[in-house]
Amino acid sequence: MEWVGRRVRTAPSKKVKHANKHLSAKAMRVMSLVVSSCLLLSCFAKQPIKDFDETLIVWRSNTIGVVDGPFSEDRISPVRLSTEVESIVDASRCGEWVTLAVVEKGTRRGAVWVGSITSLSFRPLFQSARAITGAAADDSGTSIVYTAFSGGEANPHGFSLFYLSADAQSPAVLRANISPTSSVVWRPMSDEVAYVESEGWIQVLNTKTLVARRVARGHGFSWSPDGSKLAYVNGKTLYVYDEEAKTTTEVYARHAFQTDFDKHIFWDKRGKRILTNAPAGLFGYDNECMITDQTVRRPLYQGAYLCGPVLSQR
């Protein structure tokens, strides 16, 4: 026993020392198991799925490419853009058209680019002086919706949903006060689009009638190729909402120690499986791409690229 000022410090007993030693050893074993599991999953995820027959767009920062079949980085064919971009912010597909939301190099303006799935020759369709967080074109590839910063006292969250029809000179605001991180996707063969409002609810809005309906809470979503189902993610869980039956099915939930899903998810060409992205690696610097349905979940790729949308014809 030792006096320290007015306090008495007692040396730990042998039992306490033994218990501390036991806990330390147990903690080290658990940590070793977690690290080994992460490394094993990482190595497994780098192996391409042999029977994967989709054609994918893959992108990171200011680079975009295409992969046909099993995904590995040495199989990526680069896509040439007409002008350099600072960064690619978002990608979506509706029918035969792929839409990119980009930040242009030099001017740092937001822009919406649209390209056909057959030629992948992207053309700037709209330029904005403000940041664009998401964009989508309709089945014709001529009308677009996009989410962008708008500001103003009546818009405390600062972001709005805009609509630019094929015959309009300037975009119109469809909704204000949407989530700053919201993407937007166009429902195939319809006038409806999905986005996330400021309180975290996924809304489906008709661009003609301006009638909206809530679906569920979530932060990322994708329409099936026929527009009958909306896949969405909320935190670590992937769901599918059936438009006709008005029912929601939980498809897959990630483990508690894993990160949340990224907002970029996409259907395959048959509308049977869903492509998901999520931060991966020990520090979350990589991206993990999974192919998922109700019965099978398999890693497709782990690395620097985001996967999707799928380009294969239906």
- Mean of pLDDT over the chain: 84
Buried b (16+ CB within 10 A) or exposed e, 157-179: bbbbbbbbeeeeeebeebbbbbb
Average pLDDT over residues 96-117: 92
pLDDT greater than 70 at residue 28: no
Q: How far is CA 162 from CA 94, 149, 199, in A?
A: 17, 10, 18
> Which range among 11-25, 36-50, 148-162, 285-299 shows the weakest confidence by mean pLDDT?
36-50
CATH class of 81-217: mainly beta
Residue 82's pLDDT is 81
Residue 293's pLDDT is 83
pLDDT greater than 70 at residue 245: yes
pLDDT greater than 80 at residue 121: yes
Q: How far is CA 100 from CA 35, 133, 231, 291, in A?
A: 37, 10, 20, 22
Rounded to whole angstroms, the Cα distance separating 165 from 113 reads 15
Q: Quick one: CA dihedral 118, 124, 125, 131, positive or negative?
A: positive
pLDDT greater than 50 at residue 313: yes
E strands within 181-264? 184-186, 192-196, 201-206, 212-217, 220-223, 229-234, 237-242, 247-253
Tens digit of pLDDT for each residue in 198-221? Answer: 899 999 999 999 999 999 999 999
Locate 163 and state its tokens: 């609509």
Tens digit of pLDDT for each residue in 50-85? Answer: 557 789 999 999 999 999 888 889 999 999 888 889
Domain ranges of the chain: 46-78+218-314, 81-217
pLDDT greater than 50 at residue 31: yes
Entry pTM:
0.82
